[in-house]
Structure 1
């Protein structure tokens, strides 16, 4: 059994992160509303990188979460890995502790700017490079998904709770795929056509996609990164992985190997498959791999 760092009670910790998360939701909703006015957009965007935009919302949530954790939990032996801090700091993140918070203050920034509502905050507490606790906040849907290492549930701001709904025992062609809105590529599109899913849903933010699986709205997500191109990072997957696995789903690479965190560059490249059923997940991965090998559309 995994024990949290000395002096940390899991129930109190979840209570605190719950409070911090809804405070983050207020920030994200505030800036989302401002972005509806084109006159405000220039002030909110902090760079001109269309492929990797940063907004004031990213920075404000980043500042809030790190400040709150550090203030509430002084002298606890853990570190905080944040997407925004990695972007702005020249220092190499070199943690010597088993416990690391992994934060993405705004996953789905493009969708946030576009006003689709498909954006999320990810926060996971990793132990020995594996997600243990996880929080996926989806402000526009009034959802805070929480995983405590054993189970997953979703809370609304008023405290009402509902449980995961994972629609299991479906074969690959019966599944509903949830896929990227802003990060697709031709090879992934070709693979989706080859598999011929029952239905395809388009959605931004990995957190939103995984939440849609846990909520029973879809069954599978495939992330395909091209060799030598950009790929998702640890903060894109840590929190979503925690809520999916604790709910009974699975997320691995195509060879059914668990994701590895803390690698150089924090890359999560290659092909990653997330499904709603850990029992059938290996066979689903194998079937997808055979389709890729037969079609030759991706170098394995």
Structure 2
């Protein structure tokens, strides 16, 4: 068990973040409803970047969570790395071991499109590794939490349920969950070659990882193209924390753990998440062989 910064009790911290998260859910659901009106949509969108849109919901949740943490936990030796703050000031530097890694709205495109597959990610990293984590999925009334040792899901009324990870050992028997808005031709070829039992299309990495933890899918593969945009620390930190504490694994294709705090916070290459840490390495090796044998991606 890692000791939290002086003056922070883990149970009180989780209680507070639970409250903050449901406050964030109210904001996200409010703007999600407004987006159903085309006139309101123009007012909610804060930029014209189709590849990386920002909405008022992103900004309001960003402001809320940072304000709540800073108000409740004054003078604590940690920093907050937020996607929205990096967009406006790309000079985040810290020497602290403890860093909040925060994405107020993962899956903004899905949020705008009204699919419901969007999430808030909040992780507390210790020495560049996710420790505590929260993945909030408002449209499903789900708040996934890990205290660093176990993972559970809560509804707004406080009811809880445990993870329900699947145990499919063979790659072709697995259900893959993959991106709706970030698919690419190389990943399509890989999926075709593996010939998964089933492929589910879903936005938000948080929603995809939650589907693995909840037993709705087995595996997620992220493949970033060279020279193209790639996911960032805030896309993976909170989802990784809930998956690993539940018994799953997330690594690069060489079965190496993700490293946080790199240049520009990039998480590039091929990343694989599965619901079974015991078979994860063999699954990675199998995928690597398929990629190599078919010349799908430069490894």
How high is the TM-score relative to the length of structure 2? 0.99
Partners of 2:169 and 2:177 lie apart in 1 by 15
Asked if the contact 1:5–1:76 (Cα under 8 Å) also holds between the matched residues in 2, the reply is yes
Q: 1:85-164 to 2 correspondence within 5 Å?
A: 85-90=85-90, 92-164=91-163
Asked if the contact 1:187–1:298 (Cα under 8 Å) also holds between the matched residues in 2, the reply is yes
Shift of 1:107: 0.1
Which residue does the alignment assign to 2:79? 79
Shift of 1:228: 1.1
Which residue does the alignment assign to 1:65? 65
Asked if the contact 1:175–1:218 (Cα under 8 Å) also holds between the matched residues in 2, the reply is yes
Asked if the contact 2:194–2:290 (Cα under 8 Å) also holds between the matched residues in 1, the reply is yes
Partners of 1:45 and 1:105 lie apart in 2 by 15
Asked if the contact 1:169–1:280 (Cα under 8 Å) also holds between the matched residues in 2, the reply is no
1:176-230 Cα distance to aligned partner (Å, 9 max, x none) = 0000000000000000000000000000000000000000000000000001110
Which residue does the alignment assign to 1:283? 282
Gaps of 5+ in 1: none
Q: 1:12-27 to 2 correspondence within 5 Å?
A: 12-27=12-27
1:106-147 Cα distance to aligned partner (Å, 9 max, x none) = 000000000000000000000000000000000000000001
Asked if the contact 1:221–1:273 (Cα under 8 Å) also holds between the matched residues in 2, the reply is yes
Q: 1:208-223 to 2 correspondence within 5 Å?
A: 208-223=207-222
Asked if the contact 1:124–1:132 (Cα under 8 Å) also holds between the matched residues in 2, the reply is yes
Which residue does the alignment assign to 1:205? 204
Gaps of 5+ in 2: none
1:35-73 Cα distance to aligned partner (Å, 9 max, x none) = 000010010000000000000000000000000000000
What SS does the corresponding residue of 2:227 show, helix, strand or coil? Answer: coil
What SS does the corresponding residue of 2:144 show, helix, strand or coil? Answer: strand
Q: Matched residue pairs, number?
A: 299
Q: Give yes or no for the alignment of 1:37 onto 2:53.
A: no
What SS does the corresponding residue of 1:70 show, helix, strand or coil? Answer: helix
Partners of 2:47 and 2:295 lie apart in 1 by 38
How high is the TM-score relative to the length of structure 1? 0.99
Alignment RMSD: 0.5
Shift of 1:170: 2.4
Asked if the contact 2:100–2:123 (Cα under 8 Å) also holds between the matched residues in 1, the reply is yes
Asked if the contact 2:168–2:174 (Cα under 8 Å) also holds between the matched residues in 1, the reply is no
Partners of 1:155 and 1:148 lie apart in 2 by 13
Asked if the contact 2:176–2:199 (Cα under 8 Å) also holds between the matched residues in 1, the reply is yes
Which residue does the alignment assign to 1:9? 9
Partners of 1:94 and 1:48 lie apart in 2 by 29
Partners of 2:120 and 2:259 lie apart in 1 by 21
Q: 1:222-237 to 2 correspondence within 5 Å?
A: 222-237=221-236
